[in-house]
């Protein structure tokens, strides 16, 4: 199996690519290295293409001879998408369209697309699941829903095996540059700064460890499914409970918290039902929050002290 990973230098890609290579798959990475860098891949020996998913020349090089694509490249920042929806649309929708059209031109019809759960469903009574009516409340969620629509249409019209995986809040090692909550909190702890919480901290999220998520992605490639599946832990955790769990992990280091007003476009409560992914992919997110946080903090601490 020859696999292209777009956005492979990002946090999830940096965890996924070495695992794909270790499993014996031939891996090529396409990344513009704006947010990630090839050095994050820990000596990855496969092929690397420096380029953007919106660039036809880069897609020509990256797609040559591959059998399947894992599409991770995206602008995933919710608040920034509100400030600049044009850029978010260009990267996520236009870039994805150019990718799948370039795949179609080459007869490559096996795609695993990274999507999102809560941002697509919007404010709804959790747990969110694949049968819910989408109602995004920020441009980011709208663009990811649009890409899911492209995947569905290309499956129906052109025989693609296109599976969109709706990720929950992913955390784990190699996430120092990420703006997601666990990475942002551990980064501030490592730098001796207070944690910033927008709202009262009772907002609820689903936190999934990156190794569990990578298992789901690899299973998605192998199963050749189409449609949409939720990937998360299935466990609701408030931000305040997350901070309490972090205190146990980082002790005796001190954690101070600064609460600020809630931000427009952020969902109050969301977690996901992963039962369909369990049935279809054999997905088994069995890393506890305590264990996942301990492994993540060990990586952050080694990076700080090394």
The residues carrying an active-site annotation are: 140
3-state secondary structure 173-240: CCCCCCCCHHHHHHHHHHCCCCEEEECCCCCEEEEEEHHHHHHHHHHHHHHCCCEEEEECCCCEEEHH
Q: From edge to edge, which strands make up the β-sheet containing 110-116? A: 47-50, 26-31, 2-6, 68-71, 110-116, 161-167, 227-231
Give ∠ CA 240-241-243 in degrees, rounded to 5.
65
Whether the CB-CB separation of 165 and 216 falls below 8 Å is answered with yes
Q: Both tokens of residue 41?
A: 């891949």
Whether the CB-CB separation of 42 and 184 falls below 8 Å is answered with no
Torsion angle in degrees (nearest 10) through CA of 196, 200, 206, 211: 20
Nearest-angstrom CA–CA distance, 143 and 92: 6
Nearest-angstrom CA–CA distance, 212 and 233: 8
Q: Both tokens of residue 115?
A: 């999507």
Nearest-angstrom CA–CA distance, 214 and 240: 27
Nearest-angstrom CA–CA distance, 127 and 140: 20
């Amino acid at each position: 199996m020859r696999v292209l990973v777009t956005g492979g230098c990002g946090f999830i890609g940096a965890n996924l690519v070495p695992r794909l290579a270790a499993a014996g798959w031939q891996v090529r990475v396409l990344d513009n290295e704006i947010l990630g860098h090839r050095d994050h891949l820990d000596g990855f020996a496969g092929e690397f293409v420096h380029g953007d998913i919106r660039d036809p020349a880069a897609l020509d090089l990256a797609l040559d001879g591959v059998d399947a694509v894992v599409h991770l490249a995206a602008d995933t920042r919710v608040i920034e998408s509100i400030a600049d929806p044009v850029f978010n649309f260009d990267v996520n929708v236009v870039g994805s369209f150019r990718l799948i059209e370039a795949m179609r031109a080459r007869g490559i019809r096996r795609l695993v697309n990274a999507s999102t759960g809560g941002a697509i469903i919007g404010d709804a009574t959790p747990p969110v699941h694949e049968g819910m009516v989408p109602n995004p409340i920020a441009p980011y969620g709208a663009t990811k829903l649009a890409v899911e629509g492209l995947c569905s249409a290309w499956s129906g019209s052109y025989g693609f095996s296109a599976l969109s995986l709706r990720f929950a809040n992913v955390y784990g090692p190699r996430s120092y540059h990420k703006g997601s909550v666990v990475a942002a909190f551990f980064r501030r702890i490592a730098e001796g700064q207070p944690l910033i919480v927008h709202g009262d901290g009772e907002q609820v999220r689903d936190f999934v460890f990156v190794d569990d998520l990578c298992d789901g992605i690899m299973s998605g490639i192998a199963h050749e499914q189409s449609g949409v599946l939720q990937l998360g832990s299935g466990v609701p955790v408030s931000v305040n409970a997350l901070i309490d769990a972090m205190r146990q992990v980082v002790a005796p280091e001190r954690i101070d918290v600064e609460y600020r007003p809630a931000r427009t476009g952020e969902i109050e409560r969301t977690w996901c039902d992963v039962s369909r992914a369990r049935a279809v992919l054999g997905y088994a997110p069995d890393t506890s929050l305590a264990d996942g946080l301990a492994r993540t903090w060990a990586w952050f601490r080694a990076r700080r002290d090394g």
